[in-house]
Amino acid sequence: MATLMIQGTTSDAGKSTVVAGLCRVLARRGVSVAPFKPQNMALNSAVTVDGGEIGRSTALQALAAGVEPHSDMNPVLLKPESDRGAQVILRGRVLGHMDALDYHAYKRTARESVLAAWQALSSRYDVIIAEGAGSPAEINLRANDIANMGFAEMVDCPVVLVGDIDRGGVFAQLVGTLELLSESERSRTRGFIVNRFRGDIALLEPGLDWLTERTGKPVYGTLPYLQGLLLDAEDSIGRSGRVGQGYILKVLVPALPRISNHNDFDPLRLHPQVELSFIGPNQVGTGRSLPPADLIILPGSKSTQADLAWLRAQGWEAAIQRHLRYGGKVLGICGGFQMLGRMVHDPDGLEGPAGSSPGLGLLDVETRMVAGKQLRNVSGRLLPEGMPISGYEIHNGMSEGPALARPLCELDGRPDGAVSDDGQIMGTYLHGLFDCPAACEALLARCGLDAQGAAVDHQAHRESELDRLADCLEAQLDMAAIERLLGG
């Protein structure tokens, strides 16, 4: 067993992408490889083969490696519920809710679970490509660190540091990070990868030579900015979808403060005749109106009642009613489905302060948050068209009410979701609703888009993008040096 850790100078430096690319490169060479992220903070998650929950980017890396995602691959997942608190998921299962100070103290205990998960994974694979979180140079978080150098020191593995040149200041990022590390941490940082470079490499080479001379460490390669690369994002919300020729279906999604699993919308970003827009704060309400749209989608939420209150405060309730009066369609996914109902009850405070909130009242259902999160991969069919669908469920709430008598789909033989009598309003607990192209086309046809054969097979697209990424790493990285870090 060999472990290599990819760390970054900042969040979104490209760690997740590099790990995914390396996993695909090694898998194509016949290496038994698995991804590993000791600690992750993200609201985008996936259901694992053992019925647990891990970060979405780690699940993508497992796909790149050609293996089933497992809870051992991301032993600590933090799902923020406020600026100071998060749900803590330990080895795939909900441990509870902690504020930042409590979790900082708990890391001593979490360290044992991280080590146990890494050891379990190491017994099943020959190579582990681990990913850090944020930056290893966060001075205030160094004590009991399990996300970056604390893990690397614990398992004694080499580290490669990634810097994002597209942001500017990449040399300051790399050198400054090294300067803030301890001597042993600097020693185990074996070299660098420069990410997202645009332009003529000849203009960059003098800087790379200076970097090696200044630090005594090699640059293993410079990765170009891959235009249009779309892989499951860790947290950042993608921009609008592609604009095609002819008729465009306009889709709006409120960018909720605790939006979760926004990867649901990646197939719409890729659709050549869909214009997808995320609407942030202060864009609706007094003196402002929503752009014209055919479909509004309320996304998943980690804190349904809090995000529902945000929607109201932002003026979305009146905007949605106006949208419906003009014939527009509304779809709610998971937490968004719960918001469409009459009431949301959280008597035990599972997602925030205990209490109940009135929903938008667009579907005759009520939701109660109950302990024991629903975690499952599912498949079934869209109703009534019968197109196959597949995806996953991650939710606490259980919904009941007359509207469920007209379900949107059937999942593993049971009805799911609801559709209003006039067909304008739809809701479901299924994440991945648009991933299967035939179902995607059928849903968009309900909203007025006649574009047979235009939907993208999202799973095939993922595989293609991973191969494109791996081809880039093969061409641009010193893979022989990377293999030496892995013991040959």
Report pLDDT digits (tens) over 262-309: 999 999 999 999 999 999 998 886 667 788 999 999 999 999 999 999
CA 385 to chain centre: 30
Q: What is the model's pTM?
A: 0.92
Q: Which helix (H) or strand (E) holds 221?
A: strand 219-224
Cβ atoms of 8 and 161 within 8 Å: the answer is: yes
pLDDT confidence of residue 454: 87
- pLDDT value for 243: 47
Nearest to 261 by CA among 54, 121, 18: 54
121-160: per-residue pLDDT in tens? 999 999 999 999 999 999 988 889 999 999 999 999 999 9
CA distances to 56, 228, 280, 440 from 458, in Å:
15, 14, 26, 10
Q: Kindly give the confidence (pLDDT) of every residue in the chain, 488 residues in length, as a single tens digit, with 9 standing for 90 and above.
A: 799 999 999 999 999 999 999 999 999 999 999 999 999 999 999 999 999 999 999 999 999 999 999 999 999 999 998 888 899 999 999 999 999 999 989 999 999 999 999 999 999 999 999 999 999 999 988 889 999 999 999 999 999 999 999 999 999 999 999 999 999 999 999 999 999 999 999 999 999 999 999 999 999 999 999 988 888 866 556 544 454 455 589 999 999 999 999 999 999 999 999 999 999 998 886 667 788 999 999 999 999 999 999 999 999 999 999 999 999 999 999 999 999 999 999 999 988 889 999 999 999 999 999 988 899 999 999 999 999 999 999 998 999 999 999 999 999 999 999 999 999 999 999 999 999 999 999 999 999 998 788 898 999 999 999 999 999 999 999 999 999 999 87
Angle between helices 56-65 and 15-28 (to 10 degrees): 20
Burial class of residue 344, CB neighbours in 10 A (0-12, 13-18, 19+): buried
User: CA-to-CA distance for 275 and 267, rounded, in angstroms?
Assistant: 11
Q: Which of 70, 262, 323, 334 is catalytic?
A: 334
What is the identity of the amino acid at 13? A
How much of the chain is helix, strand and coil, in % rounded to 5?
A: 35, 30, 35
For residue 116, what is the enclosing H or E element? helix 100-122
The strand ranges marked E within 281-384 are 295-298, 300-301, 329-333, 343-346, 355-358, 366-382
Q: In 56-183, where do the E strands start and end?
A: 76-80, 85-90, 93-99, 127-131, 159-164
Which whole-number Å values give the CA distances from 39 to 76, 256, 406, in the listed order?
5, 24, 41
What Rg do the C-alpha atoms of the chain give, in angstroms?
Answer: 23
Query: What value, to the nearest 5°, has the Cα angle with vertex 7 and ends 30 and 114?
Result: 80
Is residue 22 a contact partner of residue 129, using CB atoms and an 8 Å limit?
Answer: yes
Terminal Cα distance for the chain, rounded: 11
CA neighbor of 8 nearest in space, from 307, 238, 309, 223: 223
Residue 431 is among the residues annotated as catalytic for this protein: yes
DSSP state of 384: T
Q: What is the residue-wise DSSP string for 230-291?
A: ----SSPPP------SS--EEEEEE--TTEE-GGGGHHHHH-TTEEEEEE-TTSSBTTB-PP
Catalytic residue among 70, 262, 323, 431: 431
The reported pLDDT for the residue numbered 247 is 59
Strands (E), 100-148: 127-131
In 3-state terms, what secondary structure has residue 61?
Answer: helix
- As a whole number of angstroms, the distance between CA 152 and CA 159 comes to 7
The length of the chain in residues reads 488
Q: Report the run of H or E that residue 7 belongs to, with start and end.
A: strand 2-8
Asked about 440 being catalytic, the answer comes back as no
